[in-house]
Chains A and B, each alone.
Chain A
Amino acid sequence: MYLYNDFDKQYLLQRIAEFRAQVQRRIDGVLSEEEFKPLRLQNGLYLQLHAYMLRVAIPYGTLNSRQMRQLTDIADHFDKGYGHFTTRQNIQFNWIALSDVADILEKLAEVDMHAIQTSGNCIRNVTTDHFAGAHADEVADPRITAELLRQWSTGHPEYAFLPRKFKIAVTASQNDRAVTAFHDIGLQLIATTAGQRGYRIFVGGGLGRTPRIGRELRAFLPEDDLFHYLDAIMSVYNRMGRRDNKYKARIKILIDEWGLDEAREQIEADFQLRKEKWPGFNKKLKDQIAQNFKGPDFTAADDFNQSQENALVSASQSNPAFARFLDQNITKHKDKNHVILSISLKAYGAPPGDATSFQMRVLADIAQEFGYDELRVSHEQNIILPHIHKSHLQEIYQRLVAAQLATANIGLASDIIACPGLDYCALATARSIPIAQALSERFEQRRAEQDIGPLKIKISGCINACGHHHVGHIGILGLDRAGVENYQITIGGDGATDAMLGTRTGPGFSADALLDAIDTIIDVYLANRTDKKETFMAFFKRVGITPFKAALYPEDTHLLSAKLQAAI
């Protein structure tokens, strides 16, 4: 991972000193709340329903054990003993006092962490593939690009006051695990057949009240031109993005209003001017950064021999729970002796994405002892140990069981993404966490997750879609209807390579009726799939929304029966 140098450390300390003074002026009444709000947001500090919330940046979701332990100290001393991992690979603390924030930022700085630009109208945390550097299907480690972007965007004076927040994601695989299609800028690192590296660039993706799939701006941009091009996009957006209406201020709206061709023309013209005037980013810096991401020397690890393989098989045969864990939570690593281990923060009945400080310490210990001291946060609110030698799996499993971190549900129905919702968030219109909890308990009781297969359920507590409901295979959006929570369902969303927005089923459901509605959707799938191999999404693509609507709203069945028959 990237290692801070003296300049980075000094920058953080100066920033903290500046913010400490701003907090004091606020407390003393010298700054009004209106004056203070943009300052605190740029340092990641929100005011939510019950308390201040601090969003700590975890750059591209990567951290080490020392950083994780510091987060547990913060959770214990300044919060209520837990943290919440977010859909943008950050961590949030929900119960912070204003008077403690500068001290917390100093503790973060001790381990080269911060909360800069995790909020506000600026470029936010750059996110990437949580399997970066470990999966065989990537062109190169996308975190090198992500780190360059982080350094470019942090404290950039021209981009400190954008029309609205700006989110960038990077992938280096054809299997997009970074939801790039739904970011303001999505970058896909690719290589030509001649071996030249560059980027496929998408722009104008987003979720929220006007979801959009990002459109391809450039099929191929040589690597060396990246920052000329990004500066061109940002400059055009900064100048021309709307500032009269915050609901129409994202770049996706600009692209809508201009059309992609006009936007491309403006950006390309700006890009050409920049290329003429500026030699480009510091390649020496890039090479230095790349050194930080060389990754562990897997050749130095022992071979996972046949006897160990037999022992692992035997252990899984004698322990069905361990067998399920291996089936669901392990992904193949680029090195034959290692695996990528995904650890679910979706225990049945627990709030998705939350981890107690005890659990975080266990994860830190495991990472340090067995995982080359590296952890990742996925946008799906789980923790990844990207490099685990197969010989350690049994011991790690036992430790995870003891910490209630061994739920074998990665990618299954109870691996639910949910935003904090009305229980915490000042913007929310309905609760999301209790829905997620109730749903996961229903799946636990139903004992059919393995049979159902891959199913991504995503829940948002308002139209801002922080729970990514638009791209859930089943998406749930909580709204307020005359003071009562009402939940709309969408089906068929996908944030991965075949990006799709979910289709709304129809009228929403009360919280009580919602669980049965989800059961109904799953029953339709199970009763009508061709066989177990036809996944939920494949089934939806084959039959469309009609059979689901017919089942959910049976009073309309007589209108749909012919279509339903044709569809199935």
Chain B
Amino acid sequence: MKEPSSNNSTSYVLTGNDLFSGDVVYLNRNGRLVRFLHKARLWPDATKAEHAQKLMSSELPVIDLHLIKVSKNNGRLHADSLREHIRANGPSVNASSRIYQSHKGK
């Protein structure tokens, strides 16, 4: 499916958590679950996305498959909400990593 070409345009993706690992996953254009937002299938139309959500929720090993808004900004896909941004990029807790890093392997 062709992705919207304009900058800052809003689209939708489907996301949930992988049943086995709990990882954040997105539905790609092949109907598979992938771990990266930039590989997700984009829907410009929420209605069609909701239809896919209903179909795929029971077909795939995913929990709480739901629609989120995303926007393309300078060629990069971003989740519109902070919560989904954190889901896509991991916890924003980072200053402490100096402790975690220094203790790795000890």
Contact = CB atoms under 8 A, between A and B. Distances in A.
B104 A97 contact: no
A208 interface: no
A363 B80 CA distance: 42
Given A49-B86, A433-B93, A356 B99 contact: yes
B22 A52 contact: yes
A357 B103 CA distance: 8
B47 to A, nearest CB: 23
A351 B19 CA distance: 28
B104 A98 contact: no
A453 interface: no
Size band of the A side of the interface? Answer: 35 or more
B82 A437 contact: no
A424 B87 CA distance: 9
Contacts of A403: 103
Contacts of A358: 103, 106
A47 B22 contact: yes
Contacts of A356: 99-100, 103, 106
A49 B24 contact: yes
A350 B101 CA distance: 12
Given A349-B96, A423-B93, A437-B95, A49 B63 contact: no
B86 A485 contact: no
A170 interface: no
B63 A33 contact: yes
A351 B93 contact: yes
Nearest to B23: A51
A410 interface: no
A81 B20 contact: no
A349 B20 CA distance: 33
A114 interface: no
Contacts of A404: 99, 102
B25 to A, nearest CB: 11
Given A81-B104, A351-B96, A27 B19 contact: yes
B30 interface: no
B87 A350 contact: no
A33 B60 CA distance: 12
A347 interface: yes
A219 to B, nearest CB: 46
Interface in B32-83: 61, 63-64, 80-83
A98 B20 contact: yes
Contacts of B103: 81, 356-359, 403
A441 interface: yes
B3 to A, nearest CB: 24
A483 B81 contact: yes
A51 B83 contact: no
B93 A98 contact: no
Given A358-B106, A422-B83, A434-B92, A97 B99 contact: no
A98 B19 CA distance: 7
Main secondary structure of the interface of B (DSSP, over half): loop
Contact of B22 (A50, A80, A357, A437): A50
A322 to B, nearest CB: 21
B96 A437 contact: yes
A50 B93 contact: no
B17 interface: yes
A424 B91 contact: yes
B21 A97 contact: yes
Contacts of B91: 50, 423-424, 433
Interface in A414-460: 422-424, 431, 433-434, 437, 441
B71 to A, nearest CB: 13
A99 interface: yes
A215 B104 CA distance: 48
Interface in A44-65: 47-52
A47 B96 CA distance: 24
A423 B92 contact: yes
A27 B96 contact: no
A354 interface: yes
Contact of B82 (A51, A433, A485): A485
A413 B79 CA distance: 35
A99 B99 contact: no
Contacts of B63: 33, 47
A412 B20 CA distance: 42
Contact of B21 (A26, A33, A51): A51
Contact of B99 (A350, A433, A485): A350
A199 interface: no
A534 B23 CA distance: 50
- Top 8 A-B pairs ranked by shortest CB distance? A51-B22, A423-B91, A358-B103, A358-B106, A52-B22, A356-B103, A350-B96, A349-B95
17 contacts: A26-B19, A33-B63, A47-B63, A49-B83, A49-B87, A51-B17, A81-B100, A81-B104, A97-B22, A98-B19, A349-B95, A349-B96, A404-B102, A423-B93, A424-B91, A433-B91, A483-B81
Given A81-B100, A434-B95, A437-B95, 12 more contacts: A27-B19, A47-B64, A49-B87, A82-B100, A98-B19, A98-B21, A98-B22, A99-B20, A347-B96, A356-B100, A357-B103, A423-B91
